[in-house]
Amino acid sequence: MQTVTLNNGIEMPIIGFGVYQVPDAEECENAVYEALMAGYRLIDTAAGYVNEEAVGRAIKRSGIPREQLFVTTKLWVQDAGYEKTQQAFARSMQKLQLDYLDLYLIHQPFGDYYGAWRAMEELYHQGKIRAIGVSNFLPDRLMDLIMNNDITPAVNQIETHPFYQQNESAAFLKEHGVYHQSWAPFAEELNNMFGNDVLVAIAARHNKSVAQIVLRWLVQRDIVVIPKSVRKERIIENFDIFDFELDAEDIRQIASLDTGKSLFLSYLDPEVAKKMGSWKIDL
């Protein structure tokens, strides 16, 4: 398994399995189990996905030793704040049936995420979390968090795919020792990603699928990826990306697809902050 080294020396698999939008308990448990059987060792969930319990059952069912796994979950906005974060972490651990967590992320840059970060720093120092990080933080908010706290986030998980390549953010993260992780590597199939002429042609040259090309492109950029699927054959296919390499011309052609804009939402939009702040998950 190819790994990356986070800023505190912890190793993290460069490819993992995500469970966003898989709320059905049985489907989620089976998908995570198949991923673990296929060789994935990084599992990415979140309180906001409402499937931590299913992930926990799949981990237990797999029988894989805990030390071989890298489990990530995330803190939702309603639980931001020092005391609420401690309580939310305890709930997540109970649902996941784990004694410690490998990576805990602040899911959104809204609410009292400074209080949340202080609680996460304490949990880290207590050995309950091996690494702490953030998700969806723009460079200005991330810089402010770095400057005013003791621990620099180990990871920033942000939207990254061929249509939104995040080159400036990638350079910023690298400069400050924060690992870049991609969510929505397939852009949730928007912009007809799997039918895109450029990607289809590159896939044909390498005798691979478009999904494999996109994941390989991200890995070659040293970006951690967490593709999602509930189909066993796709789960296996997405993991099979280490027996080929994209060349300079492939990279150049993929670079031409960048729109420089999110396909989903803008974190500079006040309405996004309002929506995120008012969205409550069922605890």
DSSP state of 143: H
CA-based nearest residue to 165, from 243, 248, 257: 257
* Amino acid making up residue 99: D
Question: Which residues are CB-contacts of 99 (< 8 A; sequence separation ≥ 6)?
Answer: 66, 93
DSSP 254-273: HHTT--SS-SS--TT-HHHH
Strand order in the sheet with 17-18: 17-18, 42-44, 70-75, 101-106, 129-135, 155-159, 179-183, 224-225
- Of residues 33, 40, 49, 113, which has the active-site annotation? 49
**Which burial class, exposed, middle or buried, applies to 54 when counting CB atoms under 10 A from its CB (0-12, 13-18, 19+)?**
buried
Rounded CA-CA distance 125/104 in Å is: 13
Give the 3-state secondary structure of residue 19.
coil
**Annotated catalytic, 104?**
no
Contact 180, 222 (CB under 8 A): yes
Residue identified by tokens 């990279």 is 251
**Vertex 258, ends 76 and 260: CA angle to 5°?**
55
Residues designated catalytic:
49
